[in-house]
Amino acid sequence: MDQLLNFSAATPIYIQIGERLCDEIISGNYPEESRVPGVREYSAQLEVNVNTTTKAYDRLAQQNIIYQKRGMGYFVKSGARELILSERKHQFMQHTMPQIKARMQMLGITHEEIMEILKGCSKN
């Protein structure tokens, strides 16, 4: 949790910060209705400007993932984990899978080869 994010130049930092917090919600670090780190605390952890983290938190609040209790900080909203998972699954199926399929076709990788790899992964 104390590791710094390796920020990508392709995506705004505030979006990457929001994605990281969503990852932490999905992984169970912050269950529903639990408090997430304060803006200043999270900014210090990630070594980013407080305004950038504030923008990330505001965006997550608009997406109904976190909410603010006045004077107490930000908390994970009920249903946030499922909301994040649903959106990420949708994005994966609509954007990532077509790219994977196109790459497989270009490289001549068969569905059978993929199934064998996936079977091997499930044994680990």
- The pLDDT tens digits for 51-98 are 999 999 999 999 999 999 999 999 999 999 999 999 999 999 999 999
Is residue 111, in this structure, part of any structural domain at all?
A: yes
Beta carbons within 8 Å of 68's beta carbon, 6+ residues apart: 61, 74, 75
> Are 71 and 99 contained in the same domain?
no
Domain that residue 89 falls in = 81-122
> Are 17 and 49 contained in the same domain?
yes
Is the pLDDT assigned to residue 3 strictly greater than 70?
Answer: no
pTM of the complete model: 0.81
Q: What is the DSSP string of 17-75?
A: HHHHHHHHHHTTSS-TTPBPPPHHHHHHHHT--HHHHHHHHHHHHHTTSEEEETTTEEE
Distance CA 69, CA 57 (A): 13
> Are 31 and 74 contained in the same domain?
yes
Is residue 56, in this structure, part of any structural domain at all?
A: yes
